[in-house]
């Protein structure tokens, strides 16, 4: 099994994906253990002094003015975890919780939090055992970090609350820890606060969304090319010299992908046949411009994610010169913004895909295709209601594109008076990504059927490869009406698994 070694200088996106989705094991480097121990010495020294230090010997948030005596500090750390584990609603997905815990461990190992090495090791042990704390949908405002979600994880470290075992069964956390030989931690000064003060949930979801969207954007380029081909459109608008004079990188990449898919097609360029056209509709002609803008948004979001992965987010932090200083680095605005940007771009990509699907189904605009791609129109309805489903998904995508980060609800007696709502931005983006895959799948379903209905014209070799792969995946081709939902589910599974890209790249070479 793959092992991820956590040091002091952050982790990579591939590390997060390996732990969250593939169950990779975690080891702490010697450097990390030494940094943990050195920072802990600083915290212990400050805890022994009579002067109050925030997070070490005081209360928290709006209660920071109270100096806590030594005999109450362990109770203080337990209490902050218990009281902040106040989430409600459905359980969050296992991969999200694993990413959340792993990223908090990453920051703990930076040597800036003052957490003891044994606490960090227990976090790694829990992840390695396949134990997943129960985290709820609601409870984070994305400021002071993802407080409630991280608190539910910290509660599991203490052997309290509920967690899901490797078998998927939810049990008391104490029982699961005992079954795997893991001793619950007794938190000391600052440790409770350090375990729940970060942007780890929203960051983990950003990293996973970026991975999924990278594949979906390539898939969307392919389906756009298939739709262009099925509509007998022209590939001249994809010429590199046209995109070179508007040098947005994403636009050029999308155009190149589409051109590669269409190479060798007999269906493109029929503008001057029986129904002459000067230009294709915007949804066809401007596909690279829209998908390309989304790709450039992905690139910006990836830069933000990389910076955040290299960060040590906690409050207060232990500095190399021995100071323990309060700060505002836990504010989720940088991550929240790009989560919302991605939801906007995904909604627009879904919207233009739906417009192409509708064009394929409309006999007045499809240039010779049967109404709704039906076998016997009137007796058969074809893909009429598949487009309804796609339109409903697009409509929801537009609602999900409303930015969460533009909102703020003050909390903690106005101490935390401006929050990022980054967790909410991440949660709605996950839904948007799932919906985008479904929208692309429906365009794929319609475009492949339409191409097969173009008798006497040979599609591009890359298109033939996609059609063959989709049919092998259980997605049926043209014919009389049948129960459509299983076909659409199979197409969605094919898209989500990266099947479109896998099918086309042996013909086109690697897509951009």
Active site residue 54: yes
Give the DSSP letter string of 133-185. Answer: E--EEE---SSSSSHHHHHHHHHHHTT-SEEE-TTS-EEEHHHHHHHTTPPPP
Distance separating alpha carbons of residues 9 and 32, to the nearest angstrom: 9
Cβ pair 7, 109 in contact under 8 A: yes
Residues ≥6 apart with Cβ < 8 Å to 491: 441, 442, 444, 445, 470, 473, 475
Query: What CA–CA distance (Å, rounded) separates 370 from 375?
Result: 8
| Beta partners for residue 163, in sequence order | 133, 171
Is residue 310 within 8 A of residue 9, CB to CB? The reply is yes
Catalytic member of 54, 138, 217, 337: 54
Contact 212, 96 (CB under 8 A): no
C-beta pairs of 30-37 under 8 Å, 24+ apart in sequence: 31/7, 32/6, 32/7, 32/8, 32/109, 32/111, 32/120, 33/117, 33/120, 35/8, 35/109, 35/110, 35/111, 36/108, 36/109, 36/111, 36/115, 36/116, 36/117, 36/120, 37/116, 37/117
Q: What share of the chain is helix, strand, coil (3-state, %, to 5)?
A: 55, 5, 35
- Of 492, 225, 488, 484, residue with least CA distance to 375: 484
Which residues are known catalytic residues?
54
């Amino acid at each position: 099994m793959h092992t991820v070694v956590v040091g002091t200088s952050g982790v990579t996106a591939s590390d997060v994906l390996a732990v969250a989705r593939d169950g990779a094991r975690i080891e702490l480097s010697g450097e990390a253990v030494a940094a943990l121990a050195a920072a802990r010495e600083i915290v212990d020294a400050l805890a022994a002094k009579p002067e109050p230090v925030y997070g070490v010997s005081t209360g928290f948030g709006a209660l920071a003015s109270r100096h806590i005596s030594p005999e109450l500090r362990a109770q203080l750390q337990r209490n902050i975890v218990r009281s902040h584990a106040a989430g409600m609603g459905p359980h969050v997905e296992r991969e999200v919780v694993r990413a959340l815990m792993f990223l908090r461990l990453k920051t703990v190992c930076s040597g800036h939090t003052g957490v003891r090495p044994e606490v960090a090791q227990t976090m790694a042990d829990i992840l390695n055992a396949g134990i997943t704390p129960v985290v709820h949908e609601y409870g984070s405002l994305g400021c002071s970090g993802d407080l409630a979600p991280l608190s539910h994880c910290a509660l599991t470290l203490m052997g309290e609350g509920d967690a899901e075992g490797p078998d998927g069964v939810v049990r008391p956390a104490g029982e699961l820890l005992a079954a795997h030989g893991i001793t619950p931690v007794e938190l000391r000064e600052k440790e409770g606060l350090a375990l729940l003060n970060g942007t780890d949930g929203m960051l983990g979801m950003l990293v996973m969304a970026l991975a999924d969207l990278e594949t979906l954007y390539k898939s969307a380029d392919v389906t756009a090319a298939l739709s262009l081909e099925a509509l007998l459109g022209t590939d001249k608008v994809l010429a590199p010299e046209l995109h070179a004079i508007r040098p947005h990188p994403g636009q050029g990449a999308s155009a190149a992908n589409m051109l590669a898919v269409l190479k060798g097609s007999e269906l493109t360029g029929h503008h001057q046949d029986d129904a002459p056209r000067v230009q294709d509709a915007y949804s066809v002609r401007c596909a690279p411009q829209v998908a390309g803008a989304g790709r450039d948004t992905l690139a910006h979001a990836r830069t933000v994610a990389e910076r955040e992965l290299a960060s040590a987010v906690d409050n207060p932090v232990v500095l190399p010169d021995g100071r323990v200083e309060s700060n505002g680095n836990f504010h989720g605005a940088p991550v929240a913004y790009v989560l919302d940007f991605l939801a906007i771009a995904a909604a627009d990509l879904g919207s233009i895909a739906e417009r192409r699907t509708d064009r394929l189904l409309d006999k007045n605009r499809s240039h010779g295709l049967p109404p709704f791609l039906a076998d016997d129109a009137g007796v058969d309805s074809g893909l009429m209601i598949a487009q309804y489903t796609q339109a409903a998904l697009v409509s929801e995508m537009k609602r999900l594109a409303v930015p969460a980060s533009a909102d703020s609800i003050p909390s903690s007696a106005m101490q935390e008076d401006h929050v990022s709502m980054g967790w909410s931005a991440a949660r709605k983006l996950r839904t948007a990504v799932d919906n985008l895959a479904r929208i692309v799948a429906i365009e794929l379903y319609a475009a492949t059927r339409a191409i097969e209905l173009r008798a006497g014209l040979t599609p591009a070799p890359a298109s033939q490869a996609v059609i063959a792969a989709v049919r092998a995946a259980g997605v049926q081709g043209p014919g009389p009406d049948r129960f459509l939902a299983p076909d659409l589910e199979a197409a969605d599974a094919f898209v989500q698994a990266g099947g479109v890209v896998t099918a086309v790249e042996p013909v086109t070479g690697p897509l951009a």
